[in-house]
Amino acid sequence: MSMRKIFENNYAELYDISDEIPYTIFGYWKGLWLLDDPEAMRALRFPFDYIKDHHIKIMITDYRYLEIVPVETDAWLQSEWFPTVVKNGLLAEIVIDSTNSVFSKLSVDIMYENVHQSTGLLTPTVGSLEEAKQLARKLIAELHN
């Protein structure tokens, strides 16, 4: 896979994979996201401008290294993060179902529970990176038809 690293810290590792799948980024989200942690917030805010400036339409997300998402962080994601990435052009966030713990899986399930209804963002869950890439290619192809 042709991946160009665009961001890395303890909370995220993000790659532009547009060489392989146009308008697509891929990322591992990690750790415990606290709103008062400047590095966690830097990771969470990084995609805002990148999505807008590079016309990103799809983000493939892997939460394998995520711990949990505190309630107040989830509230911020719902009120700020999801609406901003959608406003900046993101159409789909494809989630790889790779969470290791029941707690992180629950955090992820809660995080996406109402996103599509509230923002229009497509948030399909798939079983592997290969499935995510196939779906991303299909969605990009549909955009160009």
pLDDT tens track for 99-137: 667 777 888 888 899 999 999 999 999 999 999 999 999
- The torsion defined by the Cα of 134, 137, 140 and 144, in degrees rounded to 10, comes to -130
Distances (CA, A) of 63 to 50, 67, 72: 20, 9, 19
HSE-up (13 A, CA, CB side) for residue 86: 17
The dihedral built from the CA positions of residue 108, 109, 111 and 117, taken in this order, carries a sign that is: positive
Q: What percent of the chain has pLDDT over 90?
A: 81
Residue 1 scores a pLDDT above 70 = no
Mean pLDDT of the chain: 93
The dihedral built from the CA positions of residue 79, 116, 16 and 67, taken in this order, carries a sign that is: positive
Provide the residue type at 100 as one letter: N
Nearest residue to 92 via CA among 123, 113, 71: 123
User: Which residue's structure tokens are 């711990």?
Assistant: 67
Of 67-81, 88-102, 112-126, the range with the lowest mean pLDDT is: 88-102
CATH of the domain at 76: 3.30.750.24
- Quote the number of domains for the chain: 1
> For residue 52, what pLDDT band results from cuts at 50, 70 and 90?
very high
Domain that holds residue 61: 4-143
